[in-house]
Structure formats: C-alpha cells, structure tokens
Amino acid sequence: MSTSDLISKTILFIKQNLENAEGGHDWFHIQRVYKNALLIAQEETCDLRIVQLGALLHDIADSKFHGGDETIGPKIAREFLESENVNQETISHVINIIENISFKGGNFDKKFSSIELDIVQDADRLDAIGAIGIARTFNYGGFKNRPLYNPAIPPNSKMTKEEYKNNEAPTINHFYEKLLLLKDKMNTETGKQIARQRHHYMEGFLAQFYAEWDGNK
C-alpha cells in the first residue's frame, strides 16, 4: 500500500473514532498536530511516514478519557496498523511515539527517543500553547467543571505523574503546571522558534486576565 493511501485510511479511521471526542482532543486537534509535524519535519532528517502516522495516531485514545488507562491507545493503534499490513518495525516505532509523547507533569524521563518522536512531541506541545492552547485549556476546564481561577489554590509544578493525571485544580493553574513550561522542553529548532512566539502570547493573556480579575482594566 502506498503511503498516501495509508495516510488517507488512517485519517478516516481517526475521524470515525474521535467523532464525539472532547473539543480539545478531537479530530481537529489531530489535524493541527499533523500540520505542525509536517512543518517541523521539513527542517529535519527523518522518516516522514512514521512522523505522519505518529502524529495522526498519538491521541487515538487519550488516557484522560479512559480512566487513566495508558494501554488502550497503543492497543487500538497497533490493531489498526496491523490490519493495514504495516511492517512491524514501523508499528513498533509508532507505538513508542504514542507511549512517550505525553507531558504527564513533566517530571519523568522518556524511555524511548528518536527524531520522529521529537518532531511529533513538539507538534503536540505547540497545540497546547498560544491562542489554541488557551482555548483548549479552558475548554477542558469547563468539561471537567473546574473553576477558572482561585487565588487561594497555588499551582503545583512538582506533581508526580499520578498527581498530574488526577489534578482538579483551577484552570489558570494549568498554565504554570504545564503550558508555560513547554517552551523550554521543545526538541527541535523549528519547534523552539514557534514556541517562543506562542509563549509570549500566553504571557500577555495572563497579564490581561489578572488585571481584569483585580478590576484594574
């Protein structure tokens, strides 16, 4: 099967599986990450087919929406790729991307590394910051019925993986627990460049948010 046919089938598979997904983790999130990954890959020496498949399948079953079970996504992705007769080396690489892409509090070491993972991880992290990142953060906060902000509850940037997964803090805290940390965790030069611009936008948003909260603007 040609790469273009495989990618087309993968896109259709994802659209069907994420038809009723939460707005920040739906097909349009996948599409943005896919476009980001293609942009970053232009400046890197990589296996583009693995980048494409990794970007498309990275959130096929986000553990946040499956009781914290991190095995479902890789299992679904493997079954799909095997059904399309993709070779085992490619499947293994894509599964490793899915299993190692997530932030999870940022306080753990990746168990796998490749330039393809670096590209897809940067692409995914870019969708978590900037204007889109702000929109996704508040969308998810509303989905979880979290308060916008509570000055009495400070951010916690030292959470364990389990604490991060079970965190129910106000939405603004997420900026300090994840979003503002991502600029310095990017892997590629293209990712770092785009992240700096989006980081600056978030800083402006937060300044305006606090000014409005305090009745100063």
DSSP 137: H
Query: In whole angstroms, what separates CA 145 from the centre of its chain?
Result: 21
Answer whether residue 35 shows pLDDT above 90: yes
Residue 7's pLDDT band (boundaries 50, 70, 90)? very high
CATH 1.10.3210.50 fits 3-213, yes or no: yes
Average pLDDT of the chain, as a whole number: 90
Locate the domains of the chain by residue range: 3-213
Rounded to two decimals, what is the model's pTM? Answer: 0.90
Q: How far apart are CA 21 and CA 29, in angstroms?
A: 10
Cα diameter, the chain: 61
3-state secondary structure of 106: coil
Query: In whole angstroms, what separates CA 74 from the centre of its chain?
Result: 15
Q: What is the per-residue pLDDT across 128-174, written as a single tens digit (0 to 9) for each?
A: 999 999 999 999 999 889 999 999 999 987 777 777 767 788 999 99
Q: What is the mean pLDDT of residues 43-55?
A: 97
What count of other Cβ atoms lies within 10 Å of the Cβ of residue 12? 10
